[in-house]
Structure 1
Amino acid sequence: MSKLSHRRQISIAFVVACAFLMQGVDSTLLTIAIPTIARDLGQSPLSLHVLITAYLLSLAVFMPVSGWFADRFGARRVFCGALGVFMAGSVLCSVMPELWMMVPFRLLQGFGGALMTPVGRMIVLRAFGRGRTLDAMTWLTIPVLIGPLIGPLIGAALAEMAHWRLLFLVNLPICAAAILGARHLIEAEAPVGAKRFDLKGFALAGLSLVLFQLGIEALGHARFGPLGAACLGGGALALFLVYRRHARRMQAPALDLSLFAQRGFAIGVVAGGIGRSGLNSMAFLTPLILQLGLGFRPITAGLLSALAALGSFASKPLLKGFIARHGFRCVMITLTLTGSASVAVFALITPNWPLLPLLAVCIVAGAIRTLYFNAANTLTYTALSDHQLSRAVSSAGVFQQLSMGLGISLSAALLSLLQGDAAAVSLGDFHAAFLCMAVIPLLSLPVLARLAPADTGPVAPGLRKSQAPRRNKSIGPQPSLAKAEPNPAHHPTVVERH
């Protein structure tokens, strides 16, 4: 149980959420301006997805080092330093003249985010204490919902009335405010002394993730095509299998796969990752279909995207009650089905649609997507003990960010394949892409069907006693306690996005 006052807990969550808000603003204002940036740089709009996926890939690759950095330098210092790195990457992106020159600095931003996000989330989870995971996640993410609300408006306004390069500088005051708040509210912890970092495992896992992402990217390039994608994917799988064998021999592997013995964690990561891949494609496809498919100006598309964020605000307070009344399994399956339908309905949109129904579709889709992401996050962490959280938030974060980038890369590759030799992407191409991405969340249903009340840990405040766990199950063989739990002297002090 945390000894901090409730007001202090909320204040810490708000400070960390400011950093997450900055990330949300950064992503949404960039996607709404993609057509404008592409036109100015002389690139295809589809090629600019690399600015988003490069950031998400860097997040996934570098998240495993966040725990080591926190142990070595202290949580507050790492959190503030990560914000500084993110700011530096933003400034450098804003001055690069070519697309390919911007990519390395988006990777630098991702490195900052990879340290900031796990450490910030871990700070909040520990501030609230075990048993209040859902409360922590709720307070942490409510301010983050402001990002999708103001990001598209800022992005559209700058794209039309100023210059798109200013998009990369919007987050600077938010970062500065988060640094000041962190130094005031978060107590400085003495570094506990980091153990030897698993550099070999980090290299194997990181290279595997990079090859996997490159394989997805290859699908959209005629020069490589399915054969090149298969070769890269095969290489990624081979390296991951080598890493898994390596991790079994390590006391503190870079990416802790032993956590998958916890059934709730495993289902939250696997099923949640599949669902994220399909639902997060909306972040890339929606601004493009509004501008390239329906012919809206950036400001109109930005306004629609911003108003759609109101659905996220409206749905947020409902999650806790849904889970308390129906349990994680029912809620996750329902959100998967409705989320898939909310993606598929965009295949019906035509230029003849009135604005009001279009806005309603956007609002409902945003609400369902927010509920799904937060339910999956809560399921992932809810049954873990305090000393498992430091490993879980970084390990789960790797797969979460990878799945978010996968959704964008897959949708961009699909559009590129559908476009073929045509001069531009047609509305029919967008419709086909939405239908394909709507199928992906449904692939998680067999995994979610295996979820039981016993997999969600102790009864959280507000949950019915009938949902209390009765027994522990795992996906695959259940390791002994000594094997599943790390050496208490070794667990990281702090580690962990959306």
Structure 2
Amino acid sequence: MSQDLTGGRQIAIACVIACAFLMQGIDTTLLTIAIPTIAPDLGVSSLMMHFAVTAYLLGLAVFMPVSGWFADRFGSRRVFAAAITVFVLGSVLAGLSPTLSAMVAARLLQGFGGALMTPVGRLIVLRTFGPDRVLDGMTWLTIPVLIGPLLGPLMGAIIVTSFDWRWIFFVNVPLCALTLALTRWLIPYEPAPGAGRFDWGGFALAGLALVLFQLAVEHLGHPLFAGAFGTLFLLGAALAVFQLYRRHARRHPSPALDLRLFRLRPFATGVIAGGIGRVGLNSLAFLLPVMFQLGMGMSPIRAGVYASAAALGAFAAKPLLRRMIRTFGYAAVISCLAVAGSLLLAGFALFDPAMAGLIVAPYVVASGAVKTMHFNAVNTLTYSGVPAPELSRSVATAGVFQQLSMGLGISLGAAFLALVSGGAEALTMRDFSLVFLIMAVIPLLSLPVLARLGQEAGRVAAKAPEPEPARA
């Protein structure tokens, strides 16, 4: 495709894909800042609203493995357009939801659209620019990943302050319509290359294991049956189904999730150590907006401004990462970032309603910088040692675990809040402080895994662009 397109057309196509990525980046951050406003209207606690966030991330994790097969079977442009349609349909249904249960179902549908949109959009850009200009193409896709978290909290705060909160889901409609029109106009049609048989059995087993694991984590803070025994039962069921999948994957020539990639030390370290770090650091996506409003008594606008400050840290930190990795190596950089993230999480335990904005804003900026550098360093490590023929499978497999760990961070943050508050409707700063201290321990658990990182991966230069996860 790249040989038939002018440079201007290639950039225009990248901008179309970037619009879809921007829509995703704004969507979830719109929701998190609006949680304290939406919860009373739906008759639930603010802690229960985290289900609407994690449902989307679970939808991403479960359906991401099928995205490549859909693109090969039906054509990338057609699948990308369908993904946008499903995404905006889920968003509209979420805005119309009368109950939290209905919203969670709509967000799962939205996650299905997002699971197709992101990898297929990235595939279109890679084919548009060709192998010689991969970095140029990926650069366009990093822009919305940085801008989305900056605009999302501010837009969400303005909407819940001046309009009905349901508009946070309806603002996607005009951008989706524009992106669909530009997709049909700018992105050329390509015949589907054809796809072999997809591993539907493995896909079902892996998806069931992910859902059961997520339910086990949710059951920890919001038990539905048998208390702690119910949590252990769900966790045991998840592990049992995953073992069935492992046996299935060893026999299947092209499994839905290729666990054989874990034989590669950089990949295994990036997924495992990176996943542990994500669990701790991504809890900020839920805890900060809720703490600012319910713990520190901020207005949605003020909370949105502070939440957006984290994106400024991402802008500032991104140029530093490659130089740090080349100088000190992956293991040292990621270990230091894990420790720094842990210290910053613990520092939030010292926040109080009287704290001056001149302290709050720079601290949030620093947390955003460390979080972004950690995510990107881990992503680059994950793919640094993957052979070219296995790269597409590695993106799908790693993407599932990345989305799962990000959702797990939000779920654990909400679960621990429910446990330390005793289920009380009114949350105090003491509740948030205890949860931040608990979550601060989690990134440190990745250090033993990083310590085993072989020297062969310790100083791999950051030559490849970092595949960005969907932000929570």
* Match for residue 397 of structure 2 among 389, 395, 398: 395
Give the aligned partner of residue 66 of structure 2: 65
Unaligned runs of 5+ residues in structure 2 are none
Give the aligned partner of residue 114 of structure 1: 115
Give the aligned partner of residue 450 of structure 1: 452
Q: In structure 1, what is the Cα distance between the partners aligned to 2:108 and 2:272?
A: 25
**Is the deviation greater in 373-382 or in 180-189?**
180-189
1:260 aligns with 2:233: no
Query: Which residues in structure 2 correspond to 1:258-337 (within 5 Å)?
Result: 258-337=260-339
**Is the deviation greater in 120-129 or in 414-423?**
120-129
1:168 aligns with 2:169: yes
Query: Shift of the alpha carbon at 1:380?
Result: 1.6
CA gap 1:269/1:289 in 2 versus in 1, 3 angstroms: same
CA shift digits 1:48-95 (9 cap, x unpaired): 000001111111111111121011011222112101110111111111
Query: Which residues in structure 2 correspond to 1:331-370 (within 5 Å)?
Result: 331-370=333-372
Q: In structure 1, what is the Cα distance between the partners aligned to 2:367 and 2:136?
A: 24
Query: Shift of the alpha carbon at 1:119?
Result: 1.7
CA gap 1:381/1:235 in 2 versus in 1, 3 angstroms: same
Q: In structure 2, what is the Cα distance between the partners aligned to 1:267 and 1:10?
A: 35
**Is the deviation greater in 373-382 or in 266-275?**
373-382
Give the aligned partner of residue 490 of structure 1: none
1:497 aligns with 2:439: no
Query: Shift of the alpha carbon at 1:394?
Result: 1.2
Give the aligned partner of residue 235 of structure 1: 237
SS in 1 for 2:254: coil
User: Is the CA contact 1:59–1:401 (under 8 Å) kept in the aligned structure 2?
Assistant: yes
Q: Larger helix proportion, structure 1 or 2?
A: 2
Q: In structure 2, what is the Cα distance between the partners aligned to 1:330 and 1:125?
A: 31
Amino acid corresponding to residue 307 of structure 1 in structure 2: A
Q: Percent identity?
A: 59
**Is the deviation greater in 110-119 or in 284-293?**
110-119
TM-score, scaled relative to structure 1: 0.88
CA shift digits 1:20-55 (9 cap, x unpaired): 211111100100000000121221000000000111
Q: In structure 1, what is the Cα distance between the partners aligned to 2:405 and 2:56?
A: 13
RMSD (Å), alpha carbons: 2.4
Give the aligned partner of residue 44 of structure 1: 45
Query: Shift of the alpha carbon at 1:9?
Result: 5.8
Q: In structure 2, what is the Cα distance between the partners aligned to 1:206 and 1:457?
A: 35
Q: In structure 1, what is the Cα distance between the partners aligned to 2:431 and 2:424?
A: 11
User: Is the CA contact 2:317–2:373 (under 8 Å) kept in the aligned structure 1?
Assistant: yes
SS in 2 for 1:254: coil
Query: Which residues in structure 2 correspond to 1:162-241 (within 5 Å)?
Result: 162-224=163-225, 225-241=227-243
Amino acid corresponding to residue 205 of structure 2 in structure 1: L
User: Is the CA contact 1:142–1:316 (under 8 Å) kept in the aligned structure 2?
Assistant: no
Q: In structure 2, what is the Cα distance between the partners aligned to 1:307 and 1:95?
A: 30
**Is the deviation greater in 334-343 or in 377-386?**
377-386
Amino acid corresponding to residue 212 of structure 1 in structure 2: F
Q: In structure 2, what is the Cα distance between the partners aligned to 1:249 and 1:462?
A: 32
Q: In structure 2, what is the Cα distance between the partners aligned to 1:406 and 1:209?
A: 11
User: Is the CA contact 1:158–1:166 (under 8 Å) kept in the aligned structure 2?
Assistant: yes
Query: Shift of the alpha carbon at 1:227?
Result: 1.7
Give the aligned partner of residue 428 of structure 1: 430
CA gap 1:410/1:371 in 2 versus in 1, 3 angstroms: same
Query: Shift of the alpha carbon at 1:113?
Result: 0.7
Give the aligned partner of residue 149 of structure 1: 150
CA shift digits 1:414-453 (9 cap, x unpaired): 0001111534221101001111111111111111122245
Report the count of equivalent residues.
466
**Is the deviation greater in 374-383 or in 42-51?**
374-383
SS in 2 for 1:47: coil
Amino acid corresponding to residue 189 of structure 1 in structure 2: E
Give the aligned partner of residue 250 of structure 2: 248
CA gap 1:149/1:204 in 2 versus in 1, 3 angstroms: same
User: Is the CA contact 1:131–1:458 (under 8 Å) kept in the aligned structure 2?
Assistant: no
* Match for residue 418 of structure 1 among 417, 420, 433: 420
User: Is the CA contact 1:347–1:430 (under 8 Å) kept in the aligned structure 2?
Assistant: yes
User: Is the CA contact 1:20–1:144 (under 8 Å) kept in the aligned structure 2?
Assistant: yes
Query: Which residues in structure 2 correspond to 1:400-411 (within 5 Å)?
Result: 400-411=402-413
User: Is the CA contact 1:61–1:209 (under 8 Å) kept in the aligned structure 2?
Assistant: yes
User: Is the CA contact 2:25–2:144 (under 8 Å) kept in the aligned structure 1?
Assistant: no
Amino acid corresponding to residue 274 of structure 2 in structure 1: G
**Is the deviation greater in 179-188 or in 434-443?**
179-188
CA gap 1:313/1:20 in 2 versus in 1, 3 angstroms: same
Q: In structure 2, what is the Cα distance between the partners aligned to 1:258 and 1:175?
A: 37
Q: In structure 2, what is the Cα distance between the partners aligned to 1:135 and 1:428?
A: 47
User: Is the CA contact 1:13–1:124 (under 8 Å) kept in the aligned structure 2?
Assistant: yes
User: Is the CA contact 1:79–1:115 (under 8 Å) kept in the aligned structure 2?
Assistant: yes
Q: In structure 2, what is the Cα distance between the partners aligned to 1:58 and 1:393?
A: 17
Query: Shift of the alpha carbon at 1:207?
Result: 0.6
Amino acid corresponding to residue 52 of structure 1 in structure 2: V
Q: In structure 2, what is the Cα distance between the partners aligned to 1:427 and 1:418?
A: 11
Give the aligned partner of residue 469 of structure 1: none
CA gap 1:456/1:62 in 2 versus in 1, 3 angstroms: farther
Q: In structure 1, what is the Cα distance between the partners aligned to 2:238 and 2:330?
A: 32
Amino acid corresponding to residue 266 of structure 1 in structure 2: A
Q: In structure 1, what is the Cα distance between the partners aligned to 2:329 and 2:9?
A: 30
CA gap 1:12/1:332 in 2 versus in 1, 3 angstroms: farther
User: Is the CA contact 1:87–1:172 (under 8 Å) kept in the aligned structure 2?
Assistant: yes
User: Is the CA contact 1:59–1:113 (under 8 Å) kept in the aligned structure 2?
Assistant: yes
CA gap 1:199/1:80 in 2 versus in 1, 3 angstroms: same
Amino acid corresponding to residue 415 of structure 2 in structure 1: A
Q: In structure 2, what is the Cα distance between the partners aligned to 1:384 and 1:277?
A: 24
Q: In structure 2, what is the Cα distance between the partners aligned to 1:358 and 1:159?
A: 23
SS in 2 for 1:164: coil
Query: Shift of the alpha carbon at 1:186?
Result: 4.0
